[in-house]
Amino acid sequence: MNKHIIKLVVFDLIGGDSAISPSDGDLLYKQIDKLLSEKQAVELDFANITLITTAFLNAAIGQLYSKFTGDDLNTLLSLKNIAPEDISLFKKVIERAKEFFANPSSFDQSAKDTFGHE
């Protein structure tokens, strides 16, 4: 593993202080995915981000759990400058992503049961 950490500044990547859209999250995901696939350590810096939504985080971070284990992500991915009020959003997205990707068919069935679709 390369010891050098690549720093991705979210503000610069999305062009502003609001991390809200899934398309911006997907843009960030693609950059993180490429680096992690190369076993490169990544630091996501959320400095100057004033608004974050779970839609953005699901696209940017949640879908990483479809390709990488929690251990891989704990080793290779770090987060910096997260506002204290946003920490619960990160925890919620990560917890749900781990649960979903551990058993996606169970979630599909639950959704069908809940919304009445066959």
Range of the domain at 22: 2-115
Report the pLDDT value the prediction gives residue 103, as an integer from 0 to 100. Answer: 79
Asked if pLDDT for residue 33 goes beyond 80, the answer is: yes
Domain count for the chain, please give it: 1
Among residues 39, 55, 30, which one has the least CA distance to residue 4? 39
Asked if pLDDT for residue 39 goes beyond 80, the answer is: yes
Q: What average pLDDT does the segment 58-72 reach?
A: 95
Return the HEC string of 60-79: HCHHHHHCCCHHHHHHHEEE
Q: What pairs with residue 77 in β-bridges? A: 42
Among residues 60, 53, 54, 59, which one has the least CA distance to residue 10? 60
pLDDT, tens digit (0-9, with 9 covering 90-100), for 95-115: 999 998 887 665 455 545 555
Report the pLDDT value the prediction gives residue 116, as an integer from 0 to 100. Answer: 61
Asked if pLDDT for residue 15 goes beyond 80, the answer is: yes
- Main-chain dihedrals φ then ψ at residue 47, nearest 5 degrees: -60, 140
Q: What average pLDDT does the segment 18-28 reach?
A: 97
Q: In whole numbers, what is the pLDDT of the chain averaged over residues?
A: 89
Its pTM stands at 0.83
Contacts of 18 (CB under 8 A, 6+ apart): 49, 50, 51
